[in-house]
Amino acid sequence: MVKVLIPCGALGLGYDPAALARGITQKPDIIAIDGGSTDSGPHYLGTGTSKYSRGSTKAEWRELMAARATAGVPLVIGTAGTCGADDAVDWLVDITREIAAETGEHLKLAILKSGQNPQEMAQAFREGRISALPAAPEIDEETFAACSNIVALAGAEQVQAALDTGADIVIAGRTTDTAIISALPLARGCHAGGAWHGAKIGECGALATTSPNSGTILIEFDTTGFTVTPMGAEARATPHTVSAHMLYENSDPYILHEPGGYLDVTKAKYDALDDRQVRVEGSIWVESPDYTVKLEGAKLAGYQTVSLALVRDPRYVAHIQEWCNDIQSRCTSKAKERLDGDFTIELRRIGENATLGELEPDGVAGTEVGVLGIVTAESETLSREVAKMLNPYLLHHPLTEQEEMPTFAFPFSPAEMSRGKIYEFCINHVLELDDPMQAFSLQVEEIGG
Amino acid sequence: MSKLGDIVYKVRSKNAGPFWLTIDVFCGLPEVFQRVSNGLDTDVVASCLQSDADTLKRFDIADLNVVKISIPRPAIQGTVYDRDMHGASFAQIISQIEI
């Protein structure tokens, strides 16, 4: 049997300290935590930075390192620093060194990196080793060079290689959410379907229980399946909360693709052991003939400057779409006459349909409308120039020629806010490997006193 | 006729990676699930989301009283014309559908 303790869904999200402490008393074989995902958008992979504050990350990581020392087992984090790019891994390694220096703890650290070289990816593309997943954007050889970061998602094999070094702590770049949890149970011969399924159930911590905020969950793996036990005092796992987690952020609730194969839970059975523990058996792991890893890449998509104007005059609120369309068209023409380069101007009507746009089934403006002007351009300078040209319109543009000049509200001076470089995800493909470690690098270092 | 959102327990929409959106309709009770499963027209769902019915995936899961719908994201997450980074608001579109 292998016990995996998952403190919470992601480092930086927080957890109930009592639940973590209870988890440590259960004598886990490993502590596994996720460090991120793509869910916060392309900025983090584009820049190789973390979404969470360094202070919060350090505070929680220090607690997890202390819990690890008490338990005397490995601590593994996947997708370090939100995006799992090499720079984000280095960022967490740096924090780890700092903590070890402060506590005087001597540690063996394994660092697994997932960053990919654009030239090698272009070569793999030419060789037909990169293929599209459903709804993938069109790519060509140039796409890889355009990316500021490309990562491959490591699976269980790469995490196992890191654990095999005997490291106290494994800091991994991009991995699948599940691989950090399934790696040890698989290495020790637990049921493969159960290992991946239990890993999926545990990947968001206590989200698969009645008390998601308690964070900590324990998954016990064995040769026929797995058992889910929440560590929060009030938290309960039920067949419903556990099976419903297969829906979460998954386009298919029965199939989960992983490096080397896929998990099929169509025939899984969920049984309550008591009022808070659930036993799951019957999930199947289907090995693929080829070993593939998913790729993620983010590239520069331009430079953005935004402005916010507030329209409160009832007549303008009533005609807000007409007003915005008129400004958009006039300002676009003027900027094209006066400036060189590609740009777009968009005005989103906050309070009417800014969230859903054309899909909004019943957009009705209320007392006021916030008009968010978004200028996206090929350079920082151009985006600021166009945004400054937009300013007089947002301040004074009249609905008709024959009326006194109106004035609208701006909450800030200057009205323009630079968003700097913006990025977009541009790869949704898999890369075929001859050997699981082919696209990954592993190094070991000793840190602390 | 009732609005879907008024008869079910909850409608949730989330990203399933940057390129897919998934919407879970938690019906709560088996009889509500049956009503939604029979009454929710996949073509109407696709049309409300301006999505292609051929690429839409639908799962009617009686064990959970859930109808799940997945579509390629209307705008790839975080691109210039994406309005909702986490895909959280698409649930409201489905909630408005008459059953």
Distance from CA of B98 to the nearest CA of A (A): 12
Residue A154 DSSP symbol: B
Closest residue, chain A, to B61 (C-alpha): A253
Q: Which of A281, A316, A298, A306 is nearest to A374 (CA)?
A: A306
Average pLDDT over residues A353-374: 93
Whether residue B16 and residue A251 make contact (CB cut-off 8 A), yes or no, is: yes
Best to test chain B binding among A242, A342, A359 (most B CBs inside 10 Å): A359
Contact with chain A for residue B18, Cβ under 8 A: yes
Distance of CA A440 to the CA centre of its chain: 20
Count of CA atoms in the C-beta half-sphere (13 A) of B53: 8
List Cβ neighbours of A91 (8 Å cut-off, separation of 6 or more). A49, A50, A54, A80, A81
**Which 3 state secondary structure label does DSSP give A4?**
strand
Report the pLDDT value the prediction gives residue A80, as an integer from 0 to 100.
Answer: 98
Q: Which of A111, A83, A115 is nearest to A97 (CA)?
A: A111
Render pLDDT for A50-74 as a digit per residue (tens, 0 to 9). 999 999 999 999 999 999 999 999 9
The count of structural domains within chain B is 1
Whether residue A425 and residue B73 make contact (CB cut-off 8 A), yes or no, is: no
Contact with chain A for residue B90, Cβ under 8 A: yes
Report the pLDDT value the prediction gives residue A364, as an integer from 0 to 100.
Answer: 86
Q: Which domain covers residue B62, as residue numbers?
A: 4-95
CB atoms within 10 A of CB A139: 20
**A391, pLDDT greater than 90:** yes
Residues for chain A: how many in total?
Answer: 449
**A14, pLDDT greater than 90:** no
Tell which A residues from 147 to 186 touch B, by Cβ distance under 8 Å.
none
Q: What is the pLDDT along chain B (99 residues), one digit of tens a residue?
A: 899 999 999 999 999 999 999 999 999 999 999 999 999 999 999 999 999 999 999 999 999 999 999 999 999 999 999 999 999 999 999 999 999
Give pTM, 2 decimals: 0.96
Contact with chain A for residue B87, Cβ under 8 A: no
Q: How far is CA A22 from CA A13, A196, A276, in A?
A: 19, 24, 15
Size of interface A-B (CB pairs under 8 A): 112
Integer Cα distance of A444 and A157 in angstroms:
17
Set of chain B residues whose Cβ sits within 8 Å of the Cβ of A354: 83
Distance of CA A112 to the CA centre of its chain: 18
Set of chain A residues whose Cβ sits within 8 Å of the Cβ of B83: 348, 354-357
**A291, pLDDT greater than 90:** yes
